[in-house]
Amino acid sequence: MKKVVVLMSGGVDSAVSALLLKERGYDVTGIHLSVCEPYEGEYGRCCSPVDAFDARRAADKIGIPFYVLNVREVFKEIVIDNFVKEYLSGRTPNPCVICNSRIKFGYILKKALSFGFEFVATGHYARIVPENGYLKLKKGVDESRDQSYFLFELNQENMKHIVFPLGEMLKSEVREIARRYNLPQSRKRESRGICFIPDGDHYKFIKEREKFDGSGEILSMDGELLGYHNGYYKYTIGQREGIGVATGKRLYVVRIEPETGRVYVGEEKDIFGRRIILKNFNWVWEKFDIPFDALAKIRYKHHIAGCRVYPYKEFVEVLFYEPQRSITPGQACVIYLGEDVIGGGWIERVIE
């Protein structure tokens, strides 16, 4: 009997994943990751004490062993510290990608294998399919829930030990299974936002944590002084609301300069770009050595767009056929061929 650890967040997707794997004959153990200190207030986001309790209730209902694993120290070092560093560098990070590749399918997977487990499973809507001698990472069947974007840092070695039970399913089917088996998550609402910032205010989180000012000038693209801000790390490229200046026309954040503390704003046309540089590119199954046509996403909720990909030794360059809105340094750009994730990297800069 194959032994699998299911990472149970407390939500419906991971609970149904555990249930399905048990029905398929796996020896299933549920694990809930405690990634940060318990917090007060509304428990509408993942990783709260209520979520840990819900995960335990689901495990009891399914009839599997369940444990809470404290990973706060390693999570802080790998995810939170990187999150803060990126914002202070004028970039907008994506902590979910880092958590998936380096905590769930890095640190936790290694721990699981060392304790005799063969697999780690999650409730991601994505698929791992063997094809032509490779393991291919593919989009989930449910396009509206596809989470392959967050998994582009997976590789051939760790995918041998990863299971995504929901990859072939629709969200509506998952909800129906939860209702049929009377799981406590059957009517639970979806978690939103960043798990370690329950109120969603990353600016307050960084300011209280780092005791860092970061105030400076707000300038037009022509260098005209329009006003002042109290922290450049509260802004992100393409932001329109809450800029803090009024000129009688819509303004958008176009550029952030952490070295000077300056935030540059402009018109909507100024936030479009076509050519970008990606660093730390990960090829999921095979490295391409020559330019090729593909599709790319520059954010999870961004529409997928046609592009030409140019692989180089130290970086990957992406040229979109049509200008893309609010290309943001620090975010991930993921490359697709059809349903297959070819790889992805971190947006370093926009060339044009």
User: What distance, in Å, lies between the first and last C-alpha atoms of the chain?
Assistant: 54
User: Which has the closest alpha carbon to 330: 316, 318, 344, 347?
Assistant: 347
In sequence order, what DSSP letters do the residues of 235-290 get, joined into one string? --TT--TT-S---SS--EEEEEETTTTEEEEE-GGGGEEEEEEEEEEEESS----S
State how far the Cα of 236 lies from the Cα of 253, in Å rounded to an integer.
7
Per the annotation, the verdict on 195 as an active-site residue is: yes
Long-range contacts of 55-58 (CB under 8 A, 24+ apart): 55/8, 55/9, 55/10, 55/14, 55/15, 55/30, 56/30, 56/32, 57/184, 58/8, 58/10, 58/15, 58/18, 58/30, 58/183, 58/184, 58/185
Distance CA 258, CA 332 (A): 20
Instruction: Please pick, among 36, 46, 47, 99, the residue that the annotation labels catalytic.
Output: 99
Q: Answer yes or no: are the C-beta atoms of 148 and 126 closer than 8 Å.
A: yes
- Alpha carbon distance 335, 328 (integer Å): 16
Among residues 36, 46, 47, 195, which one is catalytic?
195
- Find tokens 């249930």 and name the residue: 19
Catalytic (active-site) positions: 99, 195
